[in-house]
Amino acid sequence: MKLNKLNIAVVLIAGFLTTTSCSNFLDVESREIIEAGDSEDVITPEEYVNGVYGMFTDWNYAFAYLGITEILSDNADKGSSPTDSGTDKDVLDNLTYTNTTPSFESLWSHWYKSIGRATEAITYTENYGLTDEGYKNRLIGEAKFLRALNYFFLVRGWGDVTIQELDLIERKPAAEVYDYIEKDLTDAIAVLPLKSGYASADLGRATKGAAQGLLAKVYLYQKKWQQAYDMAQEVINSGQYGLESDYAVLWRVTSENGTESLFEFQGRGVAIAHGIQQYSETQGARGTSGWGWGFNTPSQNLLDAYNAEGDAIRRDATIIFRGEVMYDGRVVDVGVENPMYNEKAYSSANAGAADGDKNIRYLRLGEIYLISAEAANELGNSSGALADLNRVRNRVSLAAVTTTDQTQLRTLIYKERRLELGFEHDRWFDLIRTGQAEAAMTAAGKPFQSKHNLFPVPNAQINQTPEMTQNPGW
């Protein structure tokens, strides 16, 4: 046995083997993807909050949103060419939609993803270590406002819905969802600055007034009349807002984020463009001489409503008529495909561009007055109701309402909402909320059934979570 030789070899080999154990060998640096540890240095909490707002610029708001807020109501028709279904706008218009109709799935998902971004932004901001407590609280408040807004979209469409932060399968009763929304809004109101409290560069962010206004609307949907009234009055009396004197400018670029505006979805049309993807284009006049796809057109039913009221100002601010000359001098060719188009979607500067400068007005003082009026009337305060209602009517040169009969006044306020807020994406929910849907839709020749009171939970969601319940009739 050549032990010496063996020993030498063993020592040599042991040397070989141990050289391979270098501890850093496995810490390979990532080249193409930024490592999690590095991204925290790069991204600020504010950017995550901005990312929640960013969801408002999605294509969903330009197409699916039109379908499930206006086209299915008596205000609007599908529009466009008869052969162009616009994915599913035909079945929405005709109330023959099903649980697989894509627009419901798109927005159900989109609103939940927006909620997800808000929650992530809140968590990130809370843990980031911001030293400026006011700034930190403001960011959290903004995110909570946005989260509440998206839950409100969901609850008024589907009723019972899951609360993402709690459970992804069990749909919570609508009342519980409303509680959750109220909590977020109450928190937001406590920390958000007034509209005038923001730096100029932050114009467009969620304000205390926006949160209060939304809360008033949330109370209204729950028939919490006193709270709705009080909250609306807080906004009205905050000194931050006033009615635009001319209704016609309300949806024009000059009034963006103006005195009447509580909250808008922001869009920019010039380079670097970042509009609400194609919102103006999908609703622009269609045809050789048009500038858009021609969807979501005013119905005859709506036109009749304006005419019956003698409401020319709001009619002409809401509807583009074939052949008319518009405020900016544009001649709407008589050859365009449809007789009427939605003027509130019209962008003068970037009419047919994918990125338009149109801001979608989500909440404005005009509506707050109507919330206040409706709540006051339900509380038996007809004089308060009349005062608020007539402020809105006065602006558009309509005669003051004088009746103090609660039922009559209720009907008049409902009608006022339709005319004042035409094409502001509220009509369907007002119809459902106030129980007018069946009568109104039947009058419009649409086969309304009780199942239409709630949207169908998208079938794709049920496929993922078979235990989740479906709404009745779907």
Partner 1 sequence: MRNLFTLLLFMVCTIPFAYSQTGSVSGTVKDGNSQMVLPGVTVTVQGKSISTQTDASGKYTINATGTDVLLFNFIGFSDKSVSVNNLTTIDVFLDEEDQSIDEVVVVGYGTQRKVDLTGSIGSVKASDIAKQPATSAMQSIQGKVSGLNIVANEQPGSSPTVLIRGMGSALGGRNPFYVVDGIPADNINNISPSDILSINVLKDASSASIYGIRAANGVIMVTTKKGSAGRTQISYDGSFGIKGILNRVDMADANQFITYFNENAAAIGQSWTLQPNQENNTDWYDELIQNGQVYNNSINLSGGSEVVDYYLSYNNLTEKGVLEGSKFQRHTIRNNNTYKFFDNKLKFMQTLNLTMTNATPKPLAAFDAAYKQSPLVPVMYENGRYGRPFVNQTTGLVTYESTAGQTVGNLNSIGNPVFENYRYNELLNTVSIQGSFEGEYQITNYLKFNSRFSGTKVYNKNRNFSNVKEAWLNADPRRTEAEFEALKLANPTSLTYVNNTLTTGQSESFRWAWENFLTFQKSFDKHNLELIAGTSLEKFNIGNNYSATGYDVPDQEQYWNINMASSGYNKSVNQTYITPTALQSYFARGQYNYDSRYYFTATVRYDGTSTFKASGDYYDVFPSFGAGWTISNESFAQDISWLNFLKVRANWGRLGNQAIPLNVSQVLQSTGTNGNENVNYVFGPNQDLIFGAAYATPVIPLSWEVTEETGVGVDFTLFNSHLTGSFDYYHKLNTNAILSVKPLLNSTFSQNFYDHGAKILNSGFEANLSWNKSVNENLSYTVGVNYSYNKNEVTDVKPTYDGNTGGSLANGQITKQLREGQPIYAWWMWETDGVWQTQDEINAGAKYGSPRPGHLKYKDQNGDNVIDDRDKVFLGSYIPTSIYGVNLGINYKAIDFSIDGYGVGGNKIYNGLKGTRIDGGENIAASTFENRWTGPNSSNTDPGAARDSYASSYYLESGAYFRINNVTLGYTFRNLYSNTSNLRVFFTAQNPLIFTKYSGFSPEITGTDNGNPAETSGIELSAYPTTRNFIFGVNMSF
SS3 content of the chain, % helix, strand, coil (to 5): 55, 5, 40
CB nearer to partner 1: pick between 61 and 429: 61
List of residues 6+ apart from 9 with CB closer than 8 A: none
379, burial (CB in 10 Å: exposed 0-12, middle 13-18, buried 19+): middle
CB nearer to partner 1: pick between 238 and 257: 257
CA atoms in the 13 A half-sphere facing the CB of 472: 6
In one-letter notation, the amino acid at residue 124 is: Y
Q: For residue 274, list its beta bridge partners.
A: 268
The alpha carbon of 368 is separated from its chain's Cα centroid by a whole number of angstroms, namely 17
CB nearer to partner 1: pick between 390 and 461: 461
d(CA 115, CA 144): 9
Minimum Å distance from CB 340 to partner 1?
A: 29
Minimum Å distance from CB 251 to partner 1?
A: 16
Minimum Å distance from CB 269 to partner 1?
A: 9
Angle between helices 102-128 and 45-54 (to 10 degrees): 170
CB nearer to partner 1: pick between 93 and 388: 93
Minimum Å distance from CB 104 to partner 1?
A: 10
d(CA 342, CA 318): 6
Q: For residue 298, list its beta bridge partners.
A: 76
CB nearer to partner 1: pick between 262 and 320: 262
CB nearer to partner 1: pick between 100 and 408: 100
Minimum Å distance from CB 49 to partner 1?
A: 8
Reported in sequence order, the residue ranges of 139-287 that DSSP labels E, i.e. its strands, are 261-265
Minimum Å distance from CB 401 to partner 1?
A: 37
Say if residue 272 is preceded by a cis peptide, omega within 30 of 0.
yes
Minimum Å distance from CB 139 to partner 1?
A: 12
Let me know: does 353 contact 345? Beta carbons within 8 Å: no
Q: Nearest Cα to 178, choosing from 155, 201, 195?
A: 155
Residue 326 structure tokens: 């518009």
Minimum Å distance from CB 87 to partner 1?
A: 11
Let me know: does 92 contact 295? Beta carbons within 8 Å: no
d(CA 120, CA 139): 12
CB nearer to partner 1: pick between 129 and 272: 272
Look at residue 77 and give its three-state secondary structure. Answer: strand
CB nearer to partner 1: pick between 36 and 383: 36
The alpha carbon of 149 is separated from its chain's Cα centroid by a whole number of angstroms, namely 7
C-beta atoms surrounding 96 within 10 Å: 12
Minimum Å distance from CB 301 to partner 1?
A: 27
CB nearer to partner 1: pick between 402 and 463: 463
